[in-house]
């Protein structure tokens, strides 16, 4: 087990190193360097000024040297300085990461709270109207681009009905729970949480569609197994059979895919954060691309890839604890 | 799932009949095909269907409501946008852009991905290791993020968009073709071909790839929907097709600023995106059920 964990960790490190190398070389492909970008914004800058700045930023060194320097700094948590804002990239990302993280949290919570019952019911009531409705939701969920759903929901829930805010972020909803409990005022929580609702639904819809289908087909397969027949024969309550015997096994394929779905979620946040003016790393990336702030782009990609790789690593290892059949292989 | 290709030429009409019969019985397949037909017809005959030039700006058409709203007229059936352009004409032209991007991207990804996948699956060993490590590596990048890096480095535009999406998608084909090739490679008729001294390249192209085709077809269909959605999303972010080209993503992004007063600006392109992706996904689902009935029962 330990050997497995170590080998996976090493593999993840190699992939991450490759990601850094590829992104760094891609950025090097861009015509012009950061100094050109800065100079474009400062017409008063002379050629001498630019050379001095190049020297200061280490751009006169060879490319491998620059790469090793970047890597060395990255390991120590220094991902460079924003060209436009002159602020350390690490602090920019650290400021924005919690908003994205909490959005992902509510999205996943919402997705599973809906997908699991939907998957179970559509499997049990196969070929009924509720199953067909489930199929409809699944097709719509896979086909609906997140940004379109977001715009349509803003149109309906914010503009027509005026129930929920059209955009913005008013701090962490999770952090407000403590205060809401202490002051016995649910309004405190609601004031932060209502900003999460539309973005979370926009992101969760596709996950609900995919996961409900997966749980449905896994349930159908599990329900045919002998041990379910046996449990029924010995007179176990139907609910116990469904939840304890069937669902626990039906959820296994979801665990495998959970890591990969985090990738879809990361991609989704890029778009959804832009729609809802959400101060997360997704919007940071898009904004930086528009103004060609390469150190930020490079860092956001790096952080996203690192998150994605480590989440998949955790899922991979977790899976062996959950499913003894894999562990014994 | 392979008999569609193995049958001798004389029997082919029967397979066609079987396919059409199966399609005729499938509500999913027919609905999908119908929706796809709408979009494809719009794309093919965009110039004739569009009542106006998609780029023509007329002051009086600015914020013109749709024909069924107060003040709407038959001049602009779906209304006018913020620049005084006819929304119906732009939505119809958008079909052309979407389908162009989707077909080019999926063709490139299909050819590159299938070839590399077939090589990896057929030869195994070091070839397999190298190709699959690249695939693994690319899986570490979330799909849209990978496309974003491309746009950031090469600058937004049609060519970059196509390259970025194709680069992000080839792994889907490589993975399915590799696993199918590995399965087919162990079948008796491939062994027979090897024994007869058929060259390896010939075996791959005439004996293996044709039998991988059904699986590739399913992935290609579903990926077309994925490309249409991604193109719209990237264009929406201002990183894909550039204005004034009429792309659905661009139209939705431009109309977003006028949601309060003129919501119809985003509704038409929004529905167009939905029709195409729902249609393709339904038809893709049908194809998968047809080629792999094992999944249908689930």
| pLDDT tens sequence across B219-267 | 999 899 999 998 888 888 888 888 778 888 888 888 888 877 788 888 8
Number of A–B residue contacts, CB under 8 Å? 116
Q: A201-239 pLDDT, tens per residue?
A: 999 999 999 888 888 888 888 888 888 888 888 888 888
Compute, in degrees rounded to 10, the torsion defined by CA atoms A50, A56, A57, A62: 100
CB contact (8 A) between residue B256 and residue A275: yes
Residues of B with CB under 8 A from a CB of A: 136-137, 139-145, 148-149, 151-153, 225, 229, 232-233, 236-239, 252, 256, 259-260, 263, 266, 270, 273-274, 277-278, 280-282, 285, 298
The pLDDT value recorded for residue B293 is: 54
Binned at pLDDT 50, 70 and 90, residue B152 comes out as confident
> Who among B139, B148, B225 is closest to A143 (CB)?
B225
Q: How far apart are CA A276 and CA A132, in angstroms?
A: 32
Q: Which chain B residue lies closest to A162 (C-alpha atoms)? A: B260
The residue-averaged pLDDT of A35-49 equals 74
Q: How far apart are CA B136 and CA A301, in angstroms?
A: 17
Whether A140 and chain B come into contact, CB under 8 Å, resolves to yes
Q: How far apart are CA A224 and CA A246, in angstroms?
A: 10
DSSP label of A158: I
The pLDDT value recorded for residue A326 is: 64
Checking if the pLDDT of B7 tops 70, the result is no
Query: Please, which residues have CB within 8 angstroms of residue B14's CB and are 6 or more apart in sequence?
Result: B7
Binned at pLDDT 50, 70 and 90, residue B8 comes out as low
Q: How far apart are CA B117 and CA B100, in angstroms?
A: 25
**What DSSP assignment string belongs to B253-275?**
HHHGGGTTT-THHHHHHHHHHHH
Q: Which chain B residue lies closest to A215 (C-alpha atoms)? A: B298
Binned at pLDDT 50, 70 and 90, residue B298 comes out as very low
Checking if the pLDDT of A307 tops 80, the result is yes
pTM of the model: 0.85
> Who among A146, A274, A301 is closest to B145 (CB)?
A301
Q: How far apart are CA B228 and CA B100, in angstroms?
A: 10
Q: How far apart are CA A33 and CA A294, in angstroms?
A: 9
Beta pairing partners, A88:
A81
The residue-averaged pLDDT of B103-126 equals 92
Q: How far apart are CA B186 and CA B165, in angstroms?
A: 33
The residue-averaged pLDDT of A120-141 equals 86
Q: Which chain B residue lies closest to A303 (C-alpha atoms)? A: B141
Omega within 30 of 0 (cis) for the link into A93: no
The pLDDT value recorded for residue A328 is: 52
CA angle A189, A152, B241 (to 5 degrees): 120
End-to-end CA separation in angstroms for chain A: 11
Q: How far apart are CA B32 and CA B278, in angstroms?
A: 7
Checking if the pLDDT of B110 tops 90, the result is yes
The residue-averaged pLDDT of A42-56 equals 76
Least confident of A261-265, A279-283, B42-46, B207-211: A261-265
The pLDDT value recorded for residue B11 is: 54
Q: How far apart are CA A76 and CA A66, in angstroms?
A: 15
Kindly provide the ipTM of the predicted complex, given to two decimals: 0.82
The pLDDT value recorded for residue A31 is: 65
Checking if the pLDDT of A297 tops 80, the result is yes
Q: How far apart are CA A63 and CA A25, in angstroms?
A: 9
> Who among B153, B229, B237 is closest to A286 (CB)?
B237
> Cβ atoms within 10 A of the Cβ of A210, count?
19
Alpha helix (H) residue ranges in A224-292: 226-233, 238-240, 248-250, 252-275, 281-290
The residue-averaged pLDDT of B93-97 equals 88
Q: How far apart are CA B164 and CA B170, in angstroms?
A: 11
Which tokens go with A218? 């896994």
Whether A286 and chain B come into contact, CB under 8 Å, resolves to yes
> Who among A221, A289, A309 is closest to B148 (CB)?
A289
Checking if the pLDDT of B297 tops 60, the result is no
Binned at pLDDT 50, 70 and 90, residue B12 comes out as low
């Amino acid at each position: 087990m330990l050997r497995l964990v170590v080998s996976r960790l090493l593999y993840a490190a190699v992939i991450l190193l490759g990601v850094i190398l590829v992104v760094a070389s891609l950025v090097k492909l861009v015509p012009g360097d950061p100094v050109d970008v800065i100079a474009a914004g400062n017409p008063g800058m002379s050629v001498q000024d630019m050379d001095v700045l190049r020297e200061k930023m280490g751009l006169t060194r060879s490319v491998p040297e620059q790469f090793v320097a970047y890597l060395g700094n990255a390991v120590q948590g220094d991902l460079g300085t924003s060209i436009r804002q002159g602020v350390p990239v690490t602090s920019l990302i650290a400021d924005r990461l919690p908003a994205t993280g909490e959005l992902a949290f509510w999205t996943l919570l919402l997705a599973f709270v809906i997908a699991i019952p939907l998957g179970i019911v559509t499997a049990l009531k196969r070929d009924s109207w509720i199953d067909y409705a489930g199929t409809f939701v699944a097709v719509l969920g896979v086909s609906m681009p997140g940004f379109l759903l977001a715009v349509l929901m803003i149109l309906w829930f914010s503009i027509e009905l005026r129930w929920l805010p059209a955009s913005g972020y008013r701090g962490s909803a999770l952090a407000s729970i403590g205060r809401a409990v202490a002051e016995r005022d649910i309004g405190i929580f609601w004031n932060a949480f209502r900003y999460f609702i539309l973005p979370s639904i926009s992101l969760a819809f596709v996950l609900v569609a995919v996961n409900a289908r997966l749980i449905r087909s896994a349930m159908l397969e599990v329900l045919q197994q002998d041990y379910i027949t046996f449990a029924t024969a010995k007179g176990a309550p139907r609910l116990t059979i469904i939840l304890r015997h069937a669902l626990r096994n039906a959820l296994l394929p979801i665990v495998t895919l959970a890591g990969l779905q985090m990738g879809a979620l990361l991609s989704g946040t890029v778009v959804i954060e832009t729609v809802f003016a959400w101060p997360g790393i997704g919007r940071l990336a898009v904004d930086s691309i528009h103004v060609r702030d390469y150190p930020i782009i490079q860092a956001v990609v790096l952080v996203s890839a690192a998150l994605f790789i480590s989440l998949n690593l955790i899922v991979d290892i977790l899976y062996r604890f959950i499913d003894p059949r894999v562990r014994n292989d | 799932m392979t008999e569609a290709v193995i049958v001798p030429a004389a029997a082919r009409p029967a397979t066609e009949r079987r396919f059409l019969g199966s399609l005729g019985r499938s509500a999913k397949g027919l609905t999908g095909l119908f929706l796809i037909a709408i979009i494809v017809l719009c794309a093919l005959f965009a110039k004739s269907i569009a009542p106006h030039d998609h780029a023509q700006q007329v002051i009086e058409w600015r914020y013109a409501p749709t024909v069924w709203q107060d003040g709407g007229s038959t001049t602009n059936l779906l209304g006018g946008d913020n620049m005084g352009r006819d929304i119906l004409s732009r939505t119809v032209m958008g079909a052309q852009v979407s389908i162009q991007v989707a077909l080019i991207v999926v063709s490139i990804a299909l050819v590159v991905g299938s070839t590399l996948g077939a090589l990896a699956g057929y030869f195994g060993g070091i070839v397999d290791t190298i190709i699959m490590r690249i695939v693994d590596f690319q899986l570490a990048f979330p799909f849209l993020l990978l496309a974003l890096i491309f746009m950031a480095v090469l600058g937004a535009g049609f060519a970059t968009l196509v390259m970025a999406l194709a680069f992000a998608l080839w792994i889907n084909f490589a993975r399915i073709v590799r696993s199918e090739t590995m399965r087919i490679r162990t079948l008796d008729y491939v062994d027979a071909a090897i024994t007869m001294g058929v060259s390896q390249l010939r075996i791959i192209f005439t004996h293996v790839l044709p039998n991988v085709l059904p699986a590739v077809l399913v992935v290609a269909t579903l990926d077309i929907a994925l490309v249409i959605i991604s193109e719209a999303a990237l264009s929406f972010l201002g990183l894909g097709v550039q204005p004034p080209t009429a792309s659905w993503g661009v139209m939705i992004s431009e109309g977003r600023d006028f949601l309060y007063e003129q919501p119809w600006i985003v509704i038409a392109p929004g529905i167009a995106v939905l029709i195409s992706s729902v249609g393709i996904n339904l038809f893709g689902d049908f194809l998968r059920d047809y080629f792999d009935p094992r999944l249908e029962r689930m």
